[in-house]
Amino acid sequence: MLKKILLITGILLTGLLVYVGVLWIKNVWPIEDTSLKNEGIGKLTIRMDESHIRHYYPEFAIANEDEGNIYYFDDKDSFIVTTDAKTKKIVCMELRDKIDGQNFTTKKGLGIGSSFADVKLEYGTNYRKKSTEIYGDMVEFQDSNTNQKIGFGIDYANDTVTVVVLYDYDKYKFPY
């Protein structure tokens, strides 16, 4: 009887470890590159000097932090731009919500409310699916030539983009 219990426990534990391993591999396994050269949101791009933020969008508010400055348009829940403290360059952009009077989209014209089909049409199918604590279900594209990733939060039930995140993964560790 004890042998059967140990065997069943071993099988269940092995199954659990395999499941956790598969989930981990899906998040770190290399994906084919998607070109993100010159990609940005609105008039801003990764590695652009932070002075351009105020030039293009004087409405941005600023919050100083140890790792760099955080600029946000309208409020902290709409469009956020993070810069590196040392280089003063843009390292991350998060488009979280539509903003009245503004048409913030990627260079390929995608933004909040775009369809997942449009994302695949513009960026292809070389993406990694992620389930995140902050934004829920996401698809992430990577360009190892520019060290950039772009993620789209997807509401699969409504086939819409809920968030767009673009960042330099060498300079900024995005806390999905």
Strand partners, 92: 82, 167
User: According to the model, what pLDDT value does residue 94 have?
Assistant: 94
Look up residue 149 and give its amino acid.
K
User: According to the model, what pLDDT value does residue 30 have?
Assistant: 57
124, 127, 130, 136 alpha-carbon torsion, rounded to 10°: -20
Mean pLDDT of 46-63: 89
pTM of the model: 0.80
Mean pLDDT of 33-56: 92
The backbone region for 74, taken as left when phi is positive above 0, alpha when psi lies in -120 to 50, beta otherwise, is left
CA distance 50 to 60: 11
For the chain, give the mean pLDDT.
87
pLDDT in tens, 116-156: 999 999 999 999 998 889 899 999 999 999 999 999 999 99
Kindly indicate the confidence band of residue 77, based on its pLDDT and cuts at 50, 70 and 90: confident
* CB of 33 closer than 8 Å to CB of 144: yes
CA distance 103 to 18: 45
20 pLDDT above the threshold of 70: no
